A and B are shown apart, each in its own frame.
Chain A
């Protein structure tokens, strides 16, 4: 599995990706999704395997990096680390920041490695199953993905559905791929080719975050002092090994489902850790189990989210949507054929994820103190620099100034979406799944001679539709149960 990685170039890429991912994870407001989107133009100078290795190592390390700021300044570096704040910061305040970070590092590594094992075993199985899929099945699967995203994603399910539908709507801008008829172009030539993925991602994540930061200038972070990261004691291991394993399983499973990957996984991992704990009253006051539960789950989601991305070409999270774009840009078509035709390429990715998990353990263990200092870079210097890189990165992909304006538009839109409780992740997933949804629907209708009811005669498609209905009903049932 590691053979394709035995080249100095790939190891350098892996080292750089892990370091860059950690820095992105540590900085609140940035994260692996924004970082991946910003670095995508630079991957054009690399071969496909190096490019994807770079993106996946950023993904793994960035997800862990969020824990450092969560523990030390009570602000999650990434949304996936939000649950880590609940116990990480209180424990750090008690003078045990090193112990909190040690547990976060160990559980993140275990969760990450566990999920790579899941990825190695399940992705090929899912890819084999995908051979049975025709157009109707892919349509039903994409619908299932979007309904899952709205139902278990963060915030209101209906708002998530609106955001997902909006993402699909954006994908319809430009020439219709079946008939070449212009849609929503309004005579603007540049829109005929459609709206690119990168301007939308950079806008929705980086630029909207810049606007958010402009509203938080009076915020003062209190940083807890850190002497050194400490490995968990025997007692800590005794207390948490079951939690780490459980959360690793939960995270991998949640990761496979198309949703907000690590964010949802860490919240569920945390609440399950509390439910099974012998000392639930300690949660929220600096429980070591709470840190382990959240961190193992969010890193386990990384490998899980790669399963549908590689096997089906359906992203499991916003960051894997960026990785999927990277694959497509480099001429790699994810799906079952990839497993048959380019096994070396896939094993290279699996191996890179495994090594990235080990590398961030080493960097995190020895360098957390240095990474924590990055948060000292003032926003008034950092964000203008991020803006410059965002603008040039967005421009560079198709050398179009219109893309830069689209990025700014989505930045402003993303800010207001978040302000009014709409998540921006469904927009990204909707945009990337849009062509698949429409294409498979229209091709299915051609196969079925326009008879919509024929969808119900395909068992796999029917199963996905039933699952979609359950996914839609789930939030309703959940809120009724909570009211009781």
Chain B
């Protein structure tokens, strides 16, 4: 109870642009406005072919709805501030970083190598230190998944330095 009160007090003392409510609403409105502007560059159907409304009209209406509703939640949050979540731990950011590493490796080197690297990275950072389990999640399990998808679903995975060893 005391912690909640402390957090509420801390939140009240922050300038409005540091508060979660403002940051979230601002991001939603900002992205929606950019998307709204981009809808003006959609091709226009000539009146003779146009059936009903233009292709840009529906997304425009949705974006305006999202912006309006976001402004309402921001207005309401002034009276009733949102619950403040706990500060995100280091493991969260490391997991997020592992996604980035996955994208880079899968794009440049190999899809399965990327899965292995992410698995060992996440498992290690989440506290696993036993070699067998690290090997299990990073090598044995991805190989089993590969064989399963390859043989049962007849799936062909994207080429890469390791996957090519199997295919060629």
Contacts and interface: CB of A to CB of B under 8 A. Distances in A.
Contact of B122 (A169, A172, A387): A387
A178 B66 contact: no
Interface residues of B, number: 68
18 contacts: A41-B153, A42-B152, A169-B62, A181-B45, A181-B55, A183-B55, A184-B35, A380-B128, A384-B119, A384-B122, A384-B137, A387-B122, A389-B145, A395-B111, A408-B99, A412-B99, A442-B58, A443-B52
B149 interface: yes
Interface in B108-163: 111, 115, 118-120, 122-123, 126-128, 133, 136-138, 141-142, 145-146, 149, 152-153, 155-158
Contact of B153 (A44, A172, A381, A387): A44
B62 A165 contact: yes
Contacts of B133: 380-381
A441 B111 CA distance: 42
Given A169-B62, A380-B126, A442-B51, A45 B28 contact: no
Nearest to B91: A214
Contact of A401 (B42, B65, B73, B158): B158
Given A385-B137, A388-B141, A408-B103, A184 B55 contact: no
A459 interface: no
B68 to A, nearest CB: 10
Interface in B79-112: 82-83, 85-86, 88-89, 91-92, 94-96, 99, 102-103, 106-107, 111
A367 interface: no
Interface string A243-272: 000000000000000000000000000000
A433 B38 CA distance: 23
A391 interface: yes
Interface stretch (A19-27, A67-75, A154-162, A353-361): A154-162
A389 B107 CA distance: 19
B59 to A, nearest CB: 5
A211 interface: yes
- Of B52, B73, B85, B102, the most chain A CB neighbours within 10 A belong to B52
Nearest to B80: A156
Contacts of B43: 181-182
User: Is chain B's interface secondary structure helix, strand, loop, or mixed overall?
Assistant: helix
A443 to B, nearest CB: 7
B96 A211 contact: yes
Contacts of A442: 51-53, 58
A389 B85 CA distance: 30
B140 to A, nearest CB: 10
Q: A interface, how many residues as a size bin?
A: 35 or more
B33 interface: no
Nearest to B141: A385
Contacts of B38: 184, 186
Contact of B145 (A166, A392, A412, A421): A392
B70 interface: yes
B59 A165 contact: no
Contacts of A215: 86, 88-89, 91-92
Given A165-B69, A408-B102, A442-B53, A158 B89 contact: no
B32 to A, nearest CB: 9
A376 interface: no
A178 B65 CA distance: 23
B153 A420 contact: no
Nearest to A450: B52
Contacts of B165: none
A445 interface: yes
A52 interface: no
A388 B145 contact: yes
